[in-house]
Each structure stands twice: as structure tokens, then as C-alpha cells.
Structure 1
């Protein structure tokens, strides 16, 4: 996965976020979002205990006591607050997060997410995935289209453990944007130079699309 692809995904997700929303940023691609907000003002939450996360610091400003959920250095906006994990998860479980932007291992064609365990590999901990899936008002998935092994991450059925029965609302990859409506995966936008047929080959899930998108 190139950094260019990661940035493209983060920038496209910014277009979906609305002024003033409280947005939780998960591990990986989501933590790039603060650097590409432009004039859009959001309240960014990190599950390790920060409300009011700012953009990536310069090399001179790095303080490794101030990190994101990805353990990367961050800054704090004016008025930001720090708190412990119990308060952070009370905020998440209490329905106070407008949008959770999550990285994933897999998403199935109904929007169900797997993002915390790979069968046969050591599990370091579930983290906040299950709480965020259950507690956030909207779920946006940020993911590259295929795994390091070239396997689709958008699949018909999950083969990894589910993160919860709540479904994603939107998926953004380097190739496309998909939304989920009544258990159906629908192509919203193509973001690269792939054709519909190539996108189908890269995508393990079945999805609907209209003729207007197919002809772009």
C-alpha cells in the first residue's frame, strides 16, 4: 500500500465529514485525516483518551507522550482535553461519537466488519473496535482494496471474526466508494482508472451500480 493511496483515501473521507461533528479516528489510514481537513472544523477523538486531536506535528514539536491510537505523534487543538480510557469508552458507548472512521481486515457485502483478529495469529487485544462499531452513530471504513497477499478485503462473507452486528455505512478504498443500503452494497464512485470489470475482479463482494457510473 503506497502512501499516496492512503492519503487519497483519507482525503476522500474528509468530503463525507460534516462541520462540527465528533469523529473518532481508528488505527491506520484514519489517523491521516487531521492533516487534510482544510478549513473544515471537526472535534477529533482518539480512543486512548483525547478529544480535540490536531494535525501531525513538525519534527521539532514531536512529543511521544502525546500519541494517537496508532501510537503516532499528534498535536492538540486549542481547548482539547485529555482523559483516561474509562471516560473515553463511556463517551463511545454512550452514543456521543457522530462518526467512527475505522480500518478493517475485511468487510462483507452487507457491511459487517472484521477488524480485530486474524485466525491463527496472536491477538494483542480487541482494542476499541467492538465498542466503536456498537456505539458510533455512523461508521465509515477506510481500507485498501486488497490485502498484502492480494486477497480482496471486500468479501461476500467474513472469514475473520466479526467486530459486531452493526454494519458500516460507507467504505472508501483507493479504487472506489461503496455505500450500504438495506444489506446491499452499492458503488457510489470510482476513484482510480479501473474499469467496472476490473473492479469486480478486485472485489470479492457483489455490488450494485448504475449505468452512469459504468460509463464514466
Structure 2
């Protein structure tokens, strides 16, 4: 796995030294830059090489929450603060984790694992690359392209920003939410039965008020707000 490239933004000198020492203890991390305030960060201009940002919320001038809004393109943001009540606000601006001072290394290691897991999914996610014909899509799996016949898909499962494309013997993860996928014309044979599930019409064996059973014997729940979609 390539190095996870990190920037650190912390105005308190002791906390800055502590976080820096923690990051440097992780073999998979590489510190790109260390900043004392948001204004200095924004002078960087280009953040394409940054994978992760450890960001203090209580910064002078522009605070960490506002800075995160400016730097949404950085894949991972871990907030650091002395005030636990900031937690809700931090997740509203797409924080992966939230560390409360004083930070101990054991808690930091848990954050590191979350970062690694997230970036691994992000890097391996099979993205749409191009399409061929009405019934075929190509998606990326590592450095290869895999061809999938849409009529062989059983169902779609939404996982926040990702969607699983489920066949009989295989699953592929696509970096696109299920709602966006279902807007594609080529997925018109799918119906949404739940906030997290959409099924191929031809794969439905039977259904009742609570579940849909597919030809593959898989049972999926029916969401109350989606039950009317089965009246086709």
C-alpha cells in the first residue's frame, strides 16, 4: 500500500508536536506539511496530493469546520478538539473521525485503522469507466476492467456513497450512490424496494408486504415508502 499523505493543522504547539509524533510513528503515514492556522493552509492552493488532514477545530481566525468546507476534496478529515460538543457539527462537514484532547496513542491507532479501511475501499472501489451496448457496463477492479452484463445483476445495495452490484456469485462495489445509479437509463429494469435496495424486476420470484424473494432465494426487505413500486 502506498503511503498515506498527511497534513496537520493545529495552533497549540504541544498538541501539534504530539499529533506529529503520533503520525510519524505510523509506518504507512507520510507528513507532507504542518500548519498553525487555516490561512497558512489555504496558501497551499493545490491539495491533490493530500490523502488525510488532522484538523483542529479551535483555530484562530478561520476555524476548522470552515476550513473543512473549503477543502472538501481531501478524502479524509479527522477533527481534533477540546470540546466534545463539536462532534455533531464535525460529521456534518464529512469528518471520518473525531478526536478529543488529550489524545492518547491507543485511541489514535483506532483512528488510523479507520483511515486505512476507508482509503482501501476508496482506492479499490470499482468505478464506472465506460459502457458498451445497452446491457453491458465496464467497471474498474484494480488495474483491470471487468465486463458486467446488466441482466445478470440480481440487486443493488446502497452503502452511503457506494453501491454493491450483486450477481449470483460475485459482488462489485461502485463509487456512486444508489439513487444516482437508478437515474441511469440502462438501470430502468430495476425497481427500488427500500432505501438501501433495488432489484431487477425479472429476478423477483415472489413478494409479500414485508419482503421480496429473488430467484436466487435471497430475501430483501421492503421499505414502507417503496411498497407501491412493486405495483408494475
Q: TM-score, normalised by structure 1?
A: 0.31
> Greater strand share, 1 or 2?
2
Q: Highest relative contact order (Cα 8 Å, sep 6+), 1 or 2?
A: 1
Q: Whose Rg is larger? A: 2
Q: TM-score, normalised by structure 2?
A: 0.29
